[in-house]
Amino acid sequence: MSHHTITFEGVWFAYPDGTEALRGVSFTISHGEAVGIIGPNGAGKSTLLLHINGSLLPSRGRVLIGGLEVSKGTRGEVRRRVGLVFQDPDDQLFMPSVYEDVAFGPLNMGLGEEEVERRVDKALRWLGCYHLRDRPPHRLSTGQKRAVSIAAVMAMEPDILIMDEPSSNLDPRSRREVISFLNGFIHTKIIATHDLDLVLDTCQRVILLNGGVVKADGPAGEILLDGKLLEENGLELPLSCQRRQWP
């Protein structure tokens, strides 16, 4: 079985305070698919993402990554396959310099010094931030921080890439750079976002989540153009598909 598939089987999850964030979520994502997870605030998008790398474990149901069930025992293995880029780069970048931060994951994977160096250089060049390698993270712009936090995950060479709100707080050019990066990543990727235009640009498939339940699952071109469905779920047509009313 391919390393790159993701299966959710009737996943339920409740936070300790009793909030049921996922209520029976099922889907399968196969190798090479690009899937956008959309839904209103509090729909369960972030909770769903945290299940894919075992940061959270389901209270009921199963999550399988490449046929391997995610559990306490398999989390380590799963995290080698799944790269998760968090929404706030400040949560992710904690090492004293960019280079050390990008090397953090590969070093934890037990790779040799030369291999680490090769991967870090490659990832930094890919994201266009090689020149930032010696800078401390607190002296970077938001766009640079985002690029570095993506590089930090790419250096682990994951089979599956997951991103939570990759375009939030970015200026248009940095957002465009994230989009072109995403389109250059050929393996499985999952993007949770409110930026429906970004989904339109990067994903073929969309899963619409609301109240912890999958409301729709299908081709991006169909779901993102279904104004009625989107509005019922607290969303709107992507901006590029809306007709502006000039006064």
Query: Which listed residue (57, 68, 109, 225) binds another protein by CB under 8 A?
Result: 109
> Which of residues 121 and 217 has its CB atom nearest to another protein in the complex?
121
CB of 85 to another protein, least distance (A): 9
Helix (H, G, I), strand (E, B) or coil at 159: coil
Angle between helix 142-154 and helix 98-108 axes, rounded to 10 deg:
20
Residue (of 85, 91, 70, 95) closest to 11 by Cα position: 70
Residues 62-91 that bind another protein (CB under 8 A): 76, 79-80, 84, 86, 88, 90-91
**Could you say whether residue 163 binds another protein (CB under 8 A)?**
no
Residue type, 138: H
Q: Rounded distance, CA 18 to CA 125, Å?
A: 45
User: Residue written as tokens 């976002």?
Assistant: 193
Query: Which listed residue (6, 29, 65, 116) binds another protein by CB under 8 A?
Result: 116
**Could you say whether residue 169 binds another protein (CB under 8 A)?**
no
Query: Which listed residue (38, 132, 153, 170) binds another protein by CB under 8 A?
Result: 153
> Which of residues 17 and 91 has its CB atom nearest to another protein in the complex?
91
> Which of residues 47 and 210 has its CB atom nearest to another protein in the complex?
47
Residues 120-149 that bind another protein (CB under 8 A): 120, 136-138
Query: Which listed residue (41, 113, 243, 247) binds another protein by CB under 8 A?
Result: 113
Length of the chain: 247
Number of shown-chain residues binding another protein (CB under 8 A): 35
**Could you say whether residue 157 binds another protein (CB under 8 A)?**
no
Q: What are the distances in angstroms from CA 71 to CA 110, 120, 206? A: 22, 29, 26
Binding mask 27-56 for another protein (x = CB under 8 A): -----------------------x--x-x-
Q: How many CB atoms lie within 10 A of CB 53?
A: 21
**Conformation bin of residue 190: beta by default, left when phi > 0, alpha when psi is -120 to 50:** beta
Q: What are the distances in angstroms from CA 194 to CA 166, 170, 177? A: 10, 13, 18
**Could you say whether residue 13 binds another protein (CB under 8 A)?**
no
Q: Rounded distance, CA 160 to CA 138, Å?
A: 28
Query: Which listed residue (47, 92, 188, 202) binds another protein by CB under 8 A?
Result: 92
> Which of residues 119 and 205 has its CB atom nearest to another protein in the complex?
119
Q: Rounded distance, CA 161 to CA 145, Å?
A: 18
Cβ partners under 8 Å of residue 34, min gap 6: 182, 188, 189, 191, 202, 203, 204, 205
Residues engaged in binding another protein (CB under 8 A)? 50, 53, 55, 76, 79-80, 84, 86, 88, 90-97, 99-100, 103-105, 107-109, 113, 116-117, 120, 136-138, 152-153, 156
